[in-house]
Amino acid sequence: MKIKAAVTLHVGEEFKIEEITLQEPKANEVLVKIVATGVCHTDATVRDTGMTPLPAVLGHEGAGIVEKLGDNVSGVEVGDHVLLSFASCGTCESCHTGHPAYCERFMELNMGGKMEDHTHRLHLHDQELSTFFGQSSFGTYAIVHA
Ligand SMILES: [Zn+2]
Ligand SMILES: [Zn+2]
C-alpha cells in the first residue's frame, strides 16, 4: 500500500515527506495506522550519524490502531489501540526471563534496518528503506511484530 512517511535519505538531512510503499504484514506481524508518535533525540542522533543504514524511516515511539493481521497472530485484534515498543526476539534467555530490553538481538532488530526475517517492508520507488526499532513510526502506517 502507499503511505506517507518522513524519510531520512542522507546523514544530517532534514526529514523529507515522501509517498512510499509499505508491504503487507507477514506472519506474526500486524499493520498499524499511526495516530501519534513521539520525536525523540534518538531519532535525531540516528539521522545525524547514520547508525541505522540510510535511507530509513525513523520514529520509535508510535501509537495507533491495528488495521490488519498477518498470519499466525494471536492476542491482538483489528481495532485494538496500541503503543509500539522496541523489537525483541522473544526466544533468547533475556527475553524468556522478562528482560526484552536486554535481548541478545537488540541492536540487530532495532538498529539494523531490517525486520526479523532479514527483509524490508518499506520502499521508496525501487529503493529499500530501513525500518527503525521494528516500527518506523514516522509514517502514516507501520508494520510491526505482533
Ligand atoms: Zn526515544
Ligand atoms: Zn531476545
Phi then psi for 107, rounded to 5 degrees?
A: -65, -45
User: So what's the pLDDT on residue 97?
Assistant: 98
Closest ligand to residue 90's CA: 2
Q: Residue 127's domain spans which residues?
A: 2-145
Closest ligand to residue 107's CA: 2
How many angstroms separate the alpha carbon of residue 85 from the centre of ligand 1? 10
Closest ligand to residue 41's CA: 1
How many angstroms separate the alpha carbon of residue 117 from the centre of ligand 1? 24
pLDDT confidence band for 88 (50 / 70 / 90): very high
Question: Residue 55: is the preceding peptide bond cis (ω within 30°)?
Answer: yes
- Overall domain count for the chain: 1
How many angstroms separate the alpha carbon of residue 88 from the centre of ligand 2? 5
pTM for the model stands at: 0.95
How many angstroms separate the alpha carbon of residue 86 from the centre of ligand 1? 10
Mean pLDDT over 98-114 rounds to 97
CB burial of 75-105 (b: ≥16 within 10 Å; e: otherwise) equals: eeeeeeebebbebbbeebebbeeeebeebeb
Q: What is the CATH number of the domain that holds 90?
A: 3.90.180.10
Q: What is the pLDDT of residues 33-83, one digit of tens each?
A: 999 999 999 999 999 999 999 999 999 999 999 999 999 999 999 999 999
User: So what's the pLDDT on residue 89?
Assistant: 94
Closest ligand to residue 89's CA: 2
